[in-house]
Structure 1
Amino acid sequence: MDWSVALSILLLLAASSSVARGFQDKSALLALKAAMIDSSGSLDDWTETDDTPCLWTGITCDDRLSRVVALDLSNKNLSGIFSSSIGRLTELINLTLDVNNFTGNLPSELATLHDLHFLNVSHNTFTGDFPGRFSNLQLLEVLDAYNNNFSGPLPIELSRLPNLRHLHLGGSYFEGEIPPSYGNMTSLSYLALCGNCLVGPIPPELGYLVGLEELYLGYFNHFTGGIPPELGRLLNLQKLDIASCGLEGVIPAELGNLSNLDSLFLQINHLSGPIPPQLGDLVNLKSLDLSNNNLTGAIPIELRKLQNLELLSLFLNGLSGEIPAFVADLPNLQALLLWTNNFTGELPQRLGENMNLTELDVSSNPLTGPLPPNLCKGGQLEVLVLIENGITGTIPPALGHCKSLIKVRLAGNHLTGPIPEGLLGLKMLEMLELLDNRLTGMIPAIVDAPLLDFLDLSQNELQGSIPAGVARLPSLQKLFLHSNQFVGGIPVELGQLSHLLHLDLHSNRLSGAIPAELAQCSKLNYLDVSDNRLTGPIPAELGSMEVLELLNVSRNRLSGGIPPQILGQESLTSADFSYNDFSGTVPSDGHFGSLNMSSFVGNPGLCASLKCGGGDPSSSQDGDGVALSHARARLWKAVVASIFSAAMLFLIVGVIECLSICQRRESTGRRWKLTAFQRLEFDAVHVLDSLIEDNIIGRGGSGTVYRAEMPNGEVVAVKRLCKATSDETGSGSHDHGFSAEIQTLGKIRHRNIVKLLGCCSNEETNLLVYEYMPNGSLGELLHSKKRNLLDWTTRYSIAVQSAFGLCYLHHDCSPLIVHRDVKSNNILLDSGFEAHVADFGLAKFFQASSAGKCESMSSIAGSYGYIAPEYAYTLKVSEKADIFSFGVVLLELITGRKPTEQEFRDSGLGIVKWVKKVMDEAKDGVLSIVDSTLRSSQLPVHEVTSLVGVALICCEEYPSDRPTMRDVVQMLVDVRGLPKSSKSGSFKDSSIKTPVESQQQWEDQDREEQQRQRRDQAPLIPL
C-alpha cells in the first residue's frame, strides 16, 4: 500500500475520532444543562443545532482537537443539580461553578477527570460527604469548595495530591478532626478549613507545610487544647487566622519565628497568660488582633519593633499597666483598639502625631489625665471612642477642625470646658456623644453637619438657649439635650428635622409653649419635654403623629385640656401628663382608658368622665387630683375576658371543623403534587404512606406533625395542614400559613433555620416536608421531665443559635422577614441540640426600605405570653415585635417557666415583670429566678446575669428602646467574651457557632466593618 495513502487514512480516522469526541462533549454539556435550572437564560446559546459547543457561553476548546478544556459557569444564577455527565468531558482542565445555587451531592464522576488542574465549586449549596477517589486527580492544583453545605469528615484522600497548592474547604459543615495526614501536602501555599464544625486538637503535623503562605482555621470550629508550637516552623507564612475556635492555653513564643507574617488573628478564644515578647520579632506584621481573650500583664516593650503595624487590637482582655508611649510612635499605626481592659495612667500624649491614626478606642479603662492634643494631626482620624474612663481636662480645640471625623464618643468622663467650635460643623460627622461630663458654655454657634444622625449632649452643665441652627442637621435621628441648664423656648425649627425619631429635652429650664411644628417630625416616636417651665396648652397637632410611642410632658406649667386627638392616638403606648395645670375631662373609653392613674396625678382640674358633672362632688377628684373609675376598670376587664373567651371558642370550633374537613376529604383520592426544594430520594406516595396515627408526634392549631421514615432510611417530619374554604367553590380559602411557609422556607439557606425539603399538595390538603429534629421543640423539652438535658451550656448555645436564625431573617433576607410567632415551641432541636427556628406560617415580608417601620395587621397573630405590647394595642408589627418575643424566650430558657403560667395571669405581671420584681426583692439576685434544675453552684453567675440583661433589653416596653437582632447576636456573643470573674470559677465554653466578625460592643457595630477592611482580605465565613 502507498504510504501516503495509508497516512491519509490514519489522519482521516484521527479526525473522525476527534469529531466523535467533540460530539460527545456537546452531548455531555446538553445533559448538564438539562439538569440545571437556568432562570436568567445565561445558557440560551447552548442549542442542539450548533455543530460544536466551542462558541457557547462559558466554554473554551482546545484549538487542535476542538475538545472542551474549560467550563466556566461562574455567577450565572444557575441552580438545580449538577449532573454526573460532567465525567464525559474527559479533556477538562478547568471547571468553575462558583456563585450559583447548585444543590445535591457533588458528582463523584469528577474524580475521573484526570487532566483537571483547577476546580472551583465555591458559593453553592452542595450537600453530603465530599466525593471520594479525588486522589486520582494527580494534576489538581486548586480546589476551592468554600461556602457550601458539605458534611461528614474532611476528605483524607486529598493529602495524596502531589501538586495541590490551594485548598479551601471552609464554610461548610465538615466535622471531626483535621487529619494529621494533611501535614503531607507540602506543595500547599494556601489552606483554609475555617467555618466548619471541626473538633479535636490542631494537628502539630501542619508544621510540616513549610511552603504555606496563608492558613485559616478559625470560626465555628471548636478545637481543644492550644496553638501548636510547631506552627512556628512555617517560615513562609504571611497570614495566620485561628480566631474564634475555642483555643486555650498561652500564645506560643515560637510564633515569633514567623518573620514574614503580616497578619496574625487569634481573637475570640480563651487564650491566657501574657503577650509573648517574641511577637516583637514579627517585623513585617501589619495586623495584630489578640482581642477577646483572657490575656493578662502589660503590653510588651518589644512590640515597639513592629514598625509596619497598622492594626493593634487587644480589647476585651485583662491587660493592665500603662499604655506604653512607643504605641504613639509606631509610624504606620491606623487603629488602636484597647477597650475593656485595666489600663491605667494617661494616654500617650503623642498619639496621632504619626499622621496615620484613623481609629482610637480605649473605652472602659480606668484611664486618667488629659486627651492628647494632636489626635487628628494627620487629618485621617475617623473614630474616637473614649467612653467610661476618668479622663480630665478639655476637649482639644483641634478636634473642631478634624474634617475626617465620623464618630466621637467621649461619654462618662470628667471633661470640662466648652464644646470646641467647629465640632458641630464637620461635614463627615455622624455621631457625637458627650453625655455625662462636666462641659460648660453654650452649644457652638456653627451647627452644620449634614450627616450627623446622633447627638447626645445630656448630663452636662451646658447653658444658654438651644440654637435654631440645630435644624441644619438634616439627618438627625436622635437628639438628647436633657439634664442641662438650657433656657428659652424650644426652637420651632426642630420641626424641620424630618428624620428625627427621639427628642429628649427633660430636666432643663426651658420656657414658653410646646411648638406645634414638632408635629411635622413625622417619624418622631419618643418626645420627652418633662421637668421644665413650659406653659400653654398641648398642641392638638401632636395628635396627628402616627408613630409617636412615648409622650412625657409632666412637671411643667401646661394648662388647658388634654387634646382628644392625642387621647385617640393608637400608636401611643406611654404618656405622662402629671403635675401640670390641666383641666377638663379624661374620657374613660378610647385608647387612654387603660392608662395608669399616675399618668394624670397632680392636675387638680382634671377628672375622669364618669365622675365629671354629676354624682357626689366629693368623689370627683382623688387625693392626687384625678379620679379614675373602678366601674370602668371592671367593665374593661369584663370586655377583655369576653373577647378572649369568644376567640378561644371560635378557635376550638375552627380546629374541630378543620380536622373534620380533612378527615372527610382524605378518601377522595385527589391527585397529589410533590414540589422539591432540593434533591429527594422519595416521592409523594412515600410521604402519604406515613400519615398514620402511630406516627403522630405533635398537634397544633394549624395541623398535625408526623415522623416519617422514607424507604431509603431517611427520617423526615411531615406537617399536615388543611385548607378550609369559605364556600363550595373554594373561594376565599385560607391555607393556615401554607403559602407563607412555602414562600419563606423555599428561599432560606441558614444553618439555624429549619430546612424545608419539599411540599405535597392537592385541592384539599397541604403537606410540608422538613428535616427531622429528633429532640423536638425547645418548649416541649424545657417543660418536660427531660429538662435536665438542658444544662446551662446547652441553653446558652440555643440562645445564640436562635438569635443567629432570627438575625438572618431580619438583616440578610431580601425581602426582610418578620416571623411574628417567635416562641419556644417554634425553636426545634436537632440530635446535637442545635437550635433551628421553625414555623413560618405567620411570617410577614418587608421590603428593605421598610426596615424599622411598622405595618398594620387586621388582627393579632402570635402566641399569648410572647406578643409585644405595642402589637397587642395597635396591631402594628415590625421586627421589634420579634425581638420582644425572643426576649421572652430567653427568660423562659433561664427560668424554666412558661410565659403562660397561671401565676403570671392571676398577678397580671407577665414573665418580664415577674423577673424584675423577684430580682429586686430577693437577696440572691439573679439566682432567685434561675430554673431549679440548674445547679446554682455550677452556674457562671456573670453569664446568667448578662443573659438576663439581654432578655430584659429585648423586652423593653417601647420598640425604639429595643436593640436590633444584629445587636442581640453581638450582645449574646459578648457574654462569653467577658473576663471570667465569677465566684463559681472558670467556665469552659461550649461549641458555640460565633460570627466571623470580631466581637465588638453591640452599640458600635459599624466599626466592625472598618476593622474587617483592615484585615487585608482575611476570609469571611457566612452564617
Structure 2
Amino acid sequence: MRLLLIALAIILAHAAQDPEVAGSEEVAALLGVKELLVDEFGHTNDWSASDSSPCSWTGIQCDDDGFVSALNLGGKSLNGSLSGLPLARLRHLVNISLEQNNLAGPLPPELSLLPRLRFLNISHNNFGYGFPANLSAIATLEVLDTYNNNFSGPLPPELGALQSIRHLHLGGSYFSGAIPPELGNLTTLRYLALSGNSLTGRIPPELGNLGELEELYLGYYNEFEGGIPREIGKLANLVRIDLGFCGLTGRIPAEIGNLSRLDSIFLQINNLSGPIPAEIGLLSALKSLDLSNNLLSGPIPDELAMLESIALVNLFRNRLSGSIPSFFGDLPNLEVLQLWANNLTGSIPPQLGQASLSLMTVDLSSNSLSGSIPDKICWGGALQVLILYGNQIGGALPESLGQCNTLVRVRLGHNQLTGGLPKNTLGLPNLRMLELLDNRMDGIIADAPVSAVELELLDLSQNRLRGSIPRAIGNLTNLKNLLLGDNRISGRIPASIGMLQQLSVLDASGNAISGEIPRSIGSCVRLSSVDLSRNQLVGAIPGELAQLKALDALNVSRNGLSGEIPRELEEAKALTSADFSYNRLFGPIPSQGQFGFFNESSFAGNLGLCGAPTARNCSVLASPRRKPRSARDRAVFGWLFGSMFLAALLVGCITVVLFPGGGKGSSCGRSRRRPWKLTAFQKLDFSAADILDCLSEDNVIGRGGSGTVYKAMMRSGELVAVKRLASCPVNSGKRSSGSRSSHDDFGFSAEVQTLGKIRHMNIVKLLGFCSNHETNLLVYEYMPNGSLGEVLHGVGTKACPVLDWETRYKVAVQAANGLCYLHHDCSPLIVHRDVKSNNILLDSNLRAHVADFGLAKLFQGSDKSESMSSVAGSYGYIAPEYAYTLKVNEKSDIYSFGVVLLELVTGRRPIEPGYGDEIDIVKWVRKMIQTKDGVLAILDPRMGSTDLLPLHEVMLVLRVALLCSSDQPAERPAMRDVVQMLYDVKPKVVGAKDHSSSRELSGSTRMSSGRLIDV
C-alpha cells in the first residue's frame, strides 16, 4: 500500500510538471483572476476558457516550458481586490505588475507562496491596511514596489530578511513609527525609498551597512528626530541621496565627503544648521547640490570650486553670509545657480557665464549684492532665467542682454540700475517676463524693435524713463500686464494699444502722457484694471471702455479730461472701483449699475459734476456747455477757485506738519488731528505710530472699493498688511441716505465683529485695528503670495506661481474648511457675502485663507434669510436669487464658492468676453461640457497635459463646483457636505497630503523648478 501511495505521488508530481496539465490549471486560475478584477475597458476580453494555453492572452507571458511566468496588467484601470484571487496556483510566476490601477483592500499574504517571484509592482493603487510581514519569505524577490498606496501601521522588521532584494520602494503611503534597523541587513539592496510616509524616530545608523546601496530616498512628510547619521558616510556606492523635507536638525556630517560616487545631494526644506561642510568639495562626480530652505550659516566654502561636474547649486533660503565666490564663474558645467534669500554681499563674479556655456538659471535675489550685472552672463547663449531683484546692483544693463534670445524671465526690480533698455530687449523671441520696477533707469524707451510676441509681463514702473510709449506696442500680442507707472514718459498713448487682445492690467499712472485716451482701448477685451491717473490727458473719456466686460478697476483721476462721464459705463457690470476725481468733467453722474456703489471721493475735484453721490443738484447746476460765463462771472469764479486752492494748500501743509509719517493719501474730516489708538487681539510688538509710518504710496499693494491695502514692515522685521478703509464711519458726520448707508463704515464694524472673535487656520488673522474715531486701519497677518485671483489670472505687478492640480485641490479644500467654520462652527453663523478668488489669500506655503469680511453678516439661524437694502458682492459671484430678491443666507456663499472652484478648474475669470451669450463662467461651463470636447475643452492648460492629470479627480471637483453653483438654493449642498465631497476626491489624501515621489521631485525636474513665486 505504501508503495502504491509513493507511486501515485510521483505520478501527480510529474503531472504538475506536464505543461498540458499545468496549463489547464493556470487557465482556470487566470479566469478566476478575470472574474474578480473588474475590467471596464475589456482589456482581458481575449481571456477565454476555450484556450488550452493562456500564453497569447493580453498581459500574459510564458516561460520556455509553457508555464505562466508574468502577469502584466499595469495601467488597465482595473477595480477590485486581490483577496481571494487564486494567484498562489500560478506557481511559476516570476513577475506580477499591477501598477496604476484602482485596486484596493489588503495585500494577500498568499503571495508568499509563490516560490519563484522576483518582481512585484503594485504601485499607484489603493491597497491599504498593514503590510504583510510574511512577504519576507519570498527568498527570490528582487524588486518590491508599493509606491503610492494606503498602507498604514509600522514597517515590518521582517523585511530585513529579504535575501535577494535589490529594489525596495515603500513610499507614498501612511506607514508610521520608526524605520526598522533590520533594514540594515539587506546587503543586496541598491535602491531604498521610504519617502512620503509618516515615519518618525531617528534614521537608524544601521543603514550604513547597505554597502551596495546606490539610491536612498527618506524625505517628504516623514518627520525624523535628530540629524543625518555619520554612518551614511560608509555607503561607498551611493549615487543619489534625497533626505528633503523630513525635519532633520543638526549639522551636515563631514563624512558625506567620503561618498565619492555621489552625483546628487538633496537635503532641502529641513532645519539643518551650521556651515556647509568643506568636504563636499571632494565629491568630484557631484552634479546636483540642493541645501536650500535650511538654517545653514557662514560663507560658501571655497572648496566647492573643485566640483567641476556640478550643474545645479541650490543654496537659497539659508543664512549664508560673505561674498559669492568667484569660482562660480569658472565652473564649466553649471546650469542652475540659486542663492536667493541669504545675507550675501559684494558683487556678482564678473566672469559668471563665460566658462559655463549651459548656464540657464541665475537667481541671486533678496541679498545685499552691489556692483553691476556681468557683461557676459549670457555668453553661452543658454540663459533663460535671470533674477536679481531686491539687491543694490547698479550700473546700466549689459547690451548683451538685448542679444540673449534664450531669455524667458528677467526680474531685476528693486535695485539701483541706471540707463535704458538695451537695444532689441523688447524684441527677444522667447521673453515672457521683463520686470525692472523701482530702479533709477533714466533712458529713453525706444520705438523699435518691439516684437517679443511671447512677452506677458512688462514692468518698467517706478523709474525715470523718458520718451513715449512705443508705437509698435501692439506687436506684443501676448502681453497681459503693462506697467509703466511713475516714470517720466510723455507723448500720446498709441492707438496700437488696441491690438493687445490679452492685456489684463494697464498702469501708466504718474507720467506726463498727453493727448486723448485712444478709443481703440475698447478692443482690449480682457482688460480688468486701467490706471491712467496723474497724467496730462485731455478730451473725453471714451465710451468704448464699456466694451471691456471684465473691467474691474478704472482710475483716470488727476488729468485734464473734460466732457461727461459716458453713460455707457453703467453697463460695465464688473466695475467695482472707479476714480474720476480732479479732472474737468461736468454733467450728471451716471446712477445705474455699479455707479450706485461709488462714493463721493470717486468724483471729487470736478465742480461741474452733479447728482448722487455729490450734493450738487443737476437741475440747479448749469452745464458749462449750455451757459457761457460772462467776463464778470469768470473773474468771480477765478477768485473763488483761487481762494479754495489756497485754503486746501494751507490744510495740506498743516496735515503734513502734524502727521509727517502718515502717508500720501487723503483722510476723512479731522482724522489726523485726533490721537490714534491701537486695539490688539493678541500680543503685538509694534505701536500705532509704527503702522502710520508705513502708510505711503510706495507700500501700496492693493486698492479696492472698500479701501487701500499697504504692506508694512515693523521695526522687529515682522510684515503685516494694513487696510485703510475708504470712508469715515457713521459718527463722523451726516451722510446721504444712499444705497451704502447700511455699511458706510466700509466694513469696519463687520470686519472687527467677525475676525476679532474667530480663529481658524484657513481664515486670515486680524491682529488688531487702529482708529482715531474718524479713520480706521485694520491690521492683518501678511500673505506674501497675494490672492488666489491674482495667481490664477496674473493680476498685479509681481510674478505669480503657476498652480498645478495638487495645489489647486489643496486650496479648494482649505478655503472650503474656512467657510465651513463660518457656517457651521460659529454661533451665530456668519455669511461672508463676498466670497471670490480675490478674497482667498495665499501664504508663503500657498495655503489658503479666507479674507475680507467687510460685507459679512451674522445670522441667528441657518434656516433664515435676511433682506438687504441693495446687492453687495462682486459681479460674477453673486447668487441669482440674491440679485433678484435681495435675500441672502449661507447658500449665497456656497454659490460664490462654486464659482471659485470653476476658476480653479478652468483658470478663467467669472466674467470674460469669450463666454458670449453665456454671460458668466457658470453658464459657459454648463454649455461646454455638453459639447464634443466636453470637460477637456475647459481645463486650464497650465495644470499640465491632460495625459498626466488625474482626470477623475478634476471631474469630481467640477461636479462639486456645479452642485454649488446650482440656480436653485435648495439644490446646493451645505458647506459641511462640500468639504466632505472634496475630501472624497482623494480619500487617501485626507488633509491634502502630498505623496510626491522623491524620484519625481529630483533631477531635471528639480533643476527647473526654482522658487514657487517665480514659476
Which category of TM-score, normalised to the shorter sequence, fits these structures? Answer: 0.5 to 0.7
**Matching of residue 506 in structure 1 with residue 506 in structure 2:** no
Distance in 1, Cα, partners of 2:1008 & 2:36:
39
Residue 372 of structure 1: how far off its partner (Å)? 1.1
After superposition, residues 466-615 of structure 1 pair within 5 angstroms as: 466-608=469-611
Partner of 1:1013: 1005
Residue 170 of structure 1: how far off its partner (Å)? 0.8
Kindly provide the amino acid, as one letter, of the partner of residue 439 in structure 1.
Answer: M
Contact 2:830 2:858 in 1 (8 A): no
The one of 421, 425, 443 equivalent to 1:441 is: 443
Secondary structure at 1:509 match in 2? coil
Contact 1:867 1:884 in 2 (8 A): no
Question: Aligned in 2, Cα 1:600/1:438: closer, same or farther, shift over 3 Å?
Answer: same
Residue 417 of structure 1: how far off its partner (Å)? 1.2
Secondary structure at 1:543 match in 2? helix
Distance in 2, Cα, partners of 1:529 & 1:454:
18
**Matching of residue 259 in structure 1 with residue 252 in structure 2:** no
Cα distance per residue 1:825-879 (max 9 Å; x no partner): 6669xxxxxxxx999xxxxxxxxxxxxxxxxxxxxxxx9543436x5xxxxxxx5
Partner of 2:805: 812
Partner of 2:361: 359
Distance in 2, Cα, partners of 1:22 & 1:867:
69
Secondary structure at 2:538 match in 1? strand
Kindly provide the amino acid, as one letter, of the partner of residue 456 in structure 1.
Answer: D
Partner of 1:868: 834
Contact 2:534 2:559 in 1 (8 A): yes
Kindly provide the amino acid, as one letter, of the partner of residue 199 in structure 1.
Answer: T
Kindly provide the amino acid, as one letter, of the partner of residue 588 in structure 2.
Answer: T
Residue 16 of structure 1: how far off its partner (Å)? 9.0
- How many pairs does the alignment contain? 731
Secondary structure at 1:231 match in 2? helix
The one of 405, 423, 429 equivalent to 1:421 is: 423
Distance in 2, Cα, partners of 1:155 & 1:28:
30
Kindly provide the amino acid, as one letter, of the partner of residue 242 in structure 1.
Answer: L
Residue 887 of structure 1: how far off its partner (Å)? 13
Residue 778 of structure 1: how far off its partner (Å)? 8.8
After superposition, residues 18-29 of structure 1 pair within 5 angstroms as: 18-29=19-30
Contact 2:542 2:566 in 1 (8 A): yes
Cα distance per residue 1:216-257 (max 9 Å; x no partner): 111111101000001000011000110111100011011111
Kindly provide the amino acid, as one letter, of the partner of residue 215 in structure 1.
Answer: L
Contact 2:842 2:848 in 1 (8 A): no
**Matching of residue 84 in structure 1 with residue 84 in structure 2:** yes
Residue 107 of structure 1: how far off its partner (Å)? 2.3
The one of 394, 397, 420 equivalent to 2:396 is: 394
Residue 461 of structure 1: how far off its partner (Å)? 1.1
After superposition, residues 220-231 of structure 1 pair within 5 angstroms as: 220-231=221-232
Partner of 1:719: none
Secondary structure at 1:393 match in 2? strand
Distance in 2, Cα, partners of 1:886 & 1:331:
34
Residue 81 of structure 1: how far off its partner (Å)? 2.4
Contact 2:181 2:207 in 1 (8 A): yes
Residue 323 of structure 1: how far off its partner (Å)? 0.9
Distance in 1, Cα, partners of 2:419 & 2:139:
72
Partner of 2:107: 106
Distance in 2, Cα, partners of 1:599 & 1:894:
21
Question: Aligned in 2, Cα 1:336/1:819: closer, same or farther, shift over 3 Å?
Answer: closer
Question: Aligned in 2, Cα 1:242/1:296: closer, same or farther, shift over 3 Å?
Answer: same
After superposition, residues 677-696 of structure 1 pair within 5 angstroms as: none
Question: Aligned in 2, Cα 1:884/1:780: closer, same or farther, shift over 3 Å?
Answer: closer
Partner of 2:895: none
Question: Aligned in 2, Cα 1:779/1:341: closer, same or farther, shift over 3 Å?
Answer: closer
Kindly provide the amino acid, as one letter, of the partner of residue 443 in structure 1.
Answer: I
Cα distance per residue 1:284-342 (max 9 Å; x no partner): 11111111111111111111111111111111111111111112111111111110111
Question: Aligned in 2, Cα 1:359/1:14: closer, same or farther, shift over 3 Å?
Answer: same
After superposition, residues 140-539 of structure 1 pair within 5 angstroms as: 140-354=141-355, 355-444=357-446, 445-539=448-542
Contact 2:762 2:814 in 1 (8 A): no
Partner of 2:123: 122
Residue 817 of structure 1: how far off its partner (Å)? 11
Distance in 2, Cα, partners of 1:232 & 1:1011:
22
Kindly provide the amino acid, as one letter, of the partner of residue 331 in structure 1.
Answer: P
Secondary structure at 2:569 match in 1? helix
Residue 564 of structure 1: how far off its partner (Å)? 1.8
Kindly provide the amino acid, as one letter, of the partner of residue 73 in structure 2.
Answer: L
Residue 385 of structure 1: how far off its partner (Å)? 0.6
Distance in 2, Cα, partners of 1:1009 & 1:166:
19
Q: CA RMSD in A?
A: 4.6
After superposition, residues 612-631 of structure 1 pair within 5 angstroms as: none
Question: Aligned in 2, Cα 1:250/1:31: closer, same or farther, shift over 3 Å?
Answer: same
Distance in 2, Cα, partners of 1:340 & 1:531:
35
TM-score if structure 1 supplies the norm length? Answer: 0.65
Contact 1:778 1:824 in 2 (8 A): no
* Gaps in structure 1 of 5+ consecutive residues: 1-5, 641-776, 784-795, 829-836, 840-862, 872-878, 913-957, 968-990, 999-1007, 1019-1023
TM-score if structure 2 supplies the norm length? Answer: 0.65
Partner of 1:834: none
Distance in 1, Cα, partners of 2:144 & 2:842:
45
Contact 1:219 1:245 in 2 (8 A): yes
Partner of 2:140: 139
Partner of 1:852: none
Distance in 2, Cα, partners of 1:820 & 1:160:
42
Question: Aligned in 2, Cα 1:102/1:465: closer, same or farther, shift over 3 Å?
Answer: same
Residue 392 of structure 1: how far off its partner (Å)? 1.2
Distance in 1, Cα, partners of 2:214 & 2:293:
25
Partner of 2:965: none
Contact 2:762 2:848 in 1 (8 A): no
Secondary structure at 1:270 match in 2? coil
Residue 551 of structure 1: how far off its partner (Å)? 0.7
Question: Aligned in 2, Cα 1:891/1:426: closer, same or farther, shift over 3 Å?
Answer: closer
Contact 1:823 1:885 in 2 (8 A): no
Contact 2:814 2:849 in 1 (8 A): no
Secondary structure at 1:598 match in 2? helix
Kindly provide the amino acid, as one letter, of the partner of residue 84 in structure 2.
Answer: S
Kindly provide the amino acid, as one letter, of the partner of residue 401 in structure 2.
Answer: L
Kindly provide the amino acid, as one letter, of the partner of residue 540 in structure 1.
Answer: G
Question: Aligned in 2, Cα 1:72/1:99: closer, same or farther, shift over 3 Å?
Answer: same
Distance in 2, Cα, partners of 1:190 & 1:504:
54
Kindly provide the amino acid, as one letter, of the partner of residue 633 in structure 1.
Answer: S
Distance in 2, Cα, partners of 1:1011 & 1:485:
46
Residue 376 of structure 1: how far off its partner (Å)? 0.9
Distance in 2, Cα, partners of 1:544 & 1:45:
60
Residue 20 of structure 1: how far off its partner (Å)? 3.5
Contact 1:389 1:412 in 2 (8 A): yes
Secondary structure at 1:29 match in 2? helix
Question: Aligned in 2, Cα 1:89/1:275: closer, same or farther, shift over 3 Å?
Answer: same
Cα distance per residue 1:673-719 (max 9 Å; x no partner): xxxxxxxxxxxxxxxxxxxxxxxxxxxxxxxxxxxxxxxxxxxxxxx
Kindly provide the amino acid, as one letter, of the partner of residue 403 in structure 1.
Answer: N
Distance in 1, Cα, partners of 2:843 & 2:224:
34
Contact 2:841 2:850 in 1 (8 A): no
Distance in 2, Cα, partners of 1:318 & 1:1017:
21
Kindly provide the amino acid, as one letter, of the partner of residue 832 in structure 2.
Answer: Y
Residue 579 of structure 1: how far off its partner (Å)? 0.8
Distance in 1, Cα, partners of 2:543 & 2:763:
50
Contact 1:778 1:825 in 2 (8 A): no
Contact 1:822 1:885 in 2 (8 A): no
Secondary structure at 1:151 match in 2? strand
Residue 50 of structure 1: how far off its partner (Å)? 2.7
Secondary structure at 2:158 match in 1? helix
